[in-house]
Structure 1
Amino acid sequence: MSVSRRALLKATAATAVTGAVFAPFVARAQQAEFSYKYANNLPDTHPMNMRAKEMAAAIKQETNGRFDLQIFPTSQLGSDTDTLSQLRSGGVEFFTLSPLILSTLVPNASVSGIGFAFPDYASVWKAMDGELGAYVRGQIAKFGLVAMDKIWDNGFRQTTSSTKPIQTPADLENFKIRVPVSPLWTSMYKAFGSAPASINFAEVYSALQTKIVDGQENPLAIIATAKLYEVQKYCSLTNHMWDGFWFLANRRAWMALPEDIRTIVAKNINAAGEKERADVAKLNASLQQDLSAKGLVFNQPDPAPFRDKLRAAGFYAEWKAKFGDEAWTVLENAVGKLS
């Protein structure tokens, strides 16, 4: 019995020593070499975050656990403007942001958001996967950020209201509408004679609920996932702007990754972006019916009078001068003559 006890004690001691020696190595093997934060302003249920979760898992697997992408949806790390500052400083490594809001830092990023420019998705992807997208990514690079090749889809933006449907440009006169923190939006609605208020997305629901503004404009997917139908009555399918999300990286953090990991991360981000585009298109196809069932009243105005109003108000001429001939030529190569 004493021999057995001695043998057992030796075995236990050996196990303890072995565990002490090898445990740190096991822990290090399981811990990611690079752990990066990715922030966005959309609800967890939006296709962006659904695809981001898949993307993060695929990246972790393909890098054998070396790269771990932590996702922070619904503006958890701050407002759009706050998170953009964190991205620039390196507090956040990745951030998806509308080019229209990005224009507060990169002025020409918003050229893709000119009002009533794109007639349909075919023209959008031809431009953003082609010359126009390449031009904007080049502009973004001047500010210490890296934009992935494929812009993600936010969708064509529609106008909601608690007071009246928007049928003609006249309906926008003196209309209190929330717009993102972006000069282009403010400028466009001022051209219509509206009263635009720049409010970060995280505060939109409460601003509508408390009647600080009477309406807002966003793609159907966001109107649905953010439950804006609870505080709005009408939805006018104005398709007034196409909007996307550039998947942005802090340049220092991006270049700190080994080339093989950068390749895997970029490949998966771009692939997820294309899947998210298809998700949003499918979602938009069914959303009108779903939102109607929730009480939103839909109408579809003719875009031509709105475009004519902007032209007459000097909106296109103003932004051609601001963006410059190069940017405007690239835009008109994609969508036709505007100004």
Structure 2
Amino acid sequence: MKNLVPLAALVGLLAVSVPAHAQTARLGYVPTEDHPVGMASVFFAEKVKEKTDGRITIETFGNGVLGSEPQLQSSIQGGFLDVMVGPTSNLVGTVPEYLIFDLPFFYPDFEAVDAVMDGDVGKFLFERLDTEMGIVGLAYWDNGFRHITNAVRPINTIEDLSGLKIRVIPNPLFLSTFETLGTNPVPLPYPELYNALESGAVEAQETPVGLIHSSRFYEVQDHLALTGHVYTPFVLLASKRWFDGLSDEDRAAVLEAAQEAAVYQRDLSRSDADRLTGLLEEEGMQVTRLTEEEMAKLRERVAPVVERFSEEIGTDLVQQARAAMDAVAD
């Protein structure tokens, strides 16, 4: 009996080794685990655990195993899921101001994008997200500029888009944009896209090169046109029920970890885009870059769409975004 640890000492050891109020949260996302979203989700989870001294452990679930992005969003709203990453395009049904990230040919470069996301416009949108949906915006992540792939023909001119049956995000601005460009847009959840391309249910799609590569679209698509027509960010979101249930200290730690993860994810995503484009060419995709003359035709064609949806977003907010971009322009 002399070798037994006294009960009081054992309780003391347990108190030291097990953090007070320890909890496990779940984070869901749709891209693959080797996509920058997957890698940054793990980074975020590690930072949260470190900054909370182990009080919060976040388990990450990628590849859509917890559902499509709209399903994850519903789970976040209902408090059944704690954290998720998804594109802002799925938020526009309730917060139409998020359409500002779907305006075609609106953002000239990453500096302009960051000026809008990290400035007053991005903060205002997070406030709207809280009041209208009961969701907490933690940070904006990179999704890259979107490009068009298809299995029919190379895209060198605006006429080459005519009649293509293209999958788009189920979002009114995307539908209007691609209808105006002369395609036949088909709204479809992302997890269904590969099979739809493989079966021929759709002929084309438009996503950033990171998703094109990680989702292996080169297996079912022959042509990639680097149009950069839309910049749609990813956003790291938290359930209000979960986030508000944290202590002030832990909420601050989660927000700090989210910002650090945003820096990590944006750098990872953006620095990898050129390399991935090269890999897609190695996999057999024919990559085309439209001339500036043809790009001008695309911008001119969709200008009425930008004007119409700017009114729905709010012309003051659109002007605020333009001013933020002008402030960082060369």
**Cα distance in structure 1, aligned partners of 2:278 and 2:121:** 34
What letter corresponds to residue 319 of structure 1 in structure 2? Answer: F
Matched, 1:171 2:163: no
Greater CA drift, 83-92 or 49-58: 49-58
Matched, 1:331 2:321: yes
Asked if 2 retains the 8 angstrom alpha-carbon contact of 1:176 and 1:197, the reply is yes
In the alignment, what sits opposite 1:135?
Answer: 124
2:308 aligned residue (291, 297, 318): 318
Greater CA drift, 135-144 or 160-169: 135-144
Asked if 2 retains the 8 angstrom alpha-carbon contact of 1:32 and 1:68, the reply is no
What letter corresponds to residue 213 of structure 1 in structure 2? Answer: V
For residues 19-43 of structure 1, the C-alpha deviation after alignment (integer angstroms, 9 at most, x for no partner) is: 9974994698168622211111110
Asked if 2 retains the 8 angstrom alpha-carbon contact of 1:109 and 1:139, the reply is no
For residues 48-86 of structure 1, the C-alpha deviation after alignment (integer angstroms, 9 at most, x for no partner) is: 211221221222122121111111111111111111110
Asked if 1 retains the 8 angstrom alpha-carbon contact of 2:51 and 2:257, the reply is no
SS in 2 for 1:203: helix
What letter corresponds to residue 122 of structure 1 in structure 2? Answer: E
Asked if 2 retains the 8 angstrom alpha-carbon contact of 1:137 and 1:146, the reply is yes
**Cα distance in structure 1, aligned partners of 2:324 and 2:203:** 34
In the alignment, what sits opposite 1:42?
Answer: 31
Matched, 1:188 2:180: no
Superposed, which structure 2 residues align to 1:64-213 within 5 Å?
A: 64-142=53-131, 143-148=133-138, 150-213=139-202
Count of residues in Structure 1 that have an aligned counterpart in Structure 2: 322
In the alignment, what sits opposite 1:227?
Answer: 216
Asked if 1 retains the 8 angstrom alpha-carbon contact of 2:19 and 2:53, the reply is no
Superposed, which structure 2 residues align to 1:261-280 within 5 Å?
A: 261-280=250-269
**Cα distance in structure 2, aligned partners of 1:115 and 1:156:** 10
In structure 2, list runs of 5 or more residues that go unmatched.
Answer: none
How big is the shift at 1:11? 4.4
**Cα distance in structure 1, aligned partners of 2:52 and 2:307:** 49
In structure 1, list runs of 5 or more residues that go unmatched.
Answer: 1-9
**Percent of aligned pairs with the same amino acid:** 25
Indicate the structure (1 or 2) with the bigger Cα radius of gyration: 1
What letter corresponds to residue 168 of structure 2 in structure 1? Answer: V
Asked if 2 retains the 8 angstrom alpha-carbon contact of 1:60 and 1:67, the reply is yes
Shift of the 113–334 alpha-carbon distance from structure 1 to 2, 3 Å rule, reads farther
In the alignment, what sits opposite 1:250?
Answer: 239
How big is the shift at 1:128? 1.4
What letter corresponds to residue 60 of structure 1 in structure 2? Answer: K
How big is the shift at 1:291? 1.0
SS in 2 for 1:105: coil
In the alignment, what sits opposite 1:292?
Answer: 281
Shift of the 19–134 alpha-carbon distance from structure 1 to 2, 3 Å rule, reads closer
Matched, 1:304 2:296: yes
TM-score (normalised: structure 1): 0.89
What letter corresponds to residue 33 of structure 1 in structure 2? Answer: A
SS in 1 for 2:177: helix
1:56 aligned residue (23, 38, 45): 45
Asked if 1 retains the 8 angstrom alpha-carbon contact of 2:163 and 2:184, the reply is yes
Q: CA RMSD in A?
A: 2.2
Greater CA drift, 279-288 or 211-220: 279-288
SS in 1 for 2:70: helix
Asked if 2 retains the 8 angstrom alpha-carbon contact of 1:41 and 1:74, the reply is yes
How big is the shift at 1:92? 0.6
Greater CA drift, 50-59 or 184-193: 50-59
Greater CA drift, 27-36 or 113-122: 27-36
For residues 124-159 of structure 1, the C-alpha deviation after alignment (integer angstroms, 9 at most, x for no partner) is: 1122111321232222122211112x4100100010
How big is the shift at 1:321? 2.2
**Cα distance in structure 2, aligned partners of 1:295 and 1:31:** 54
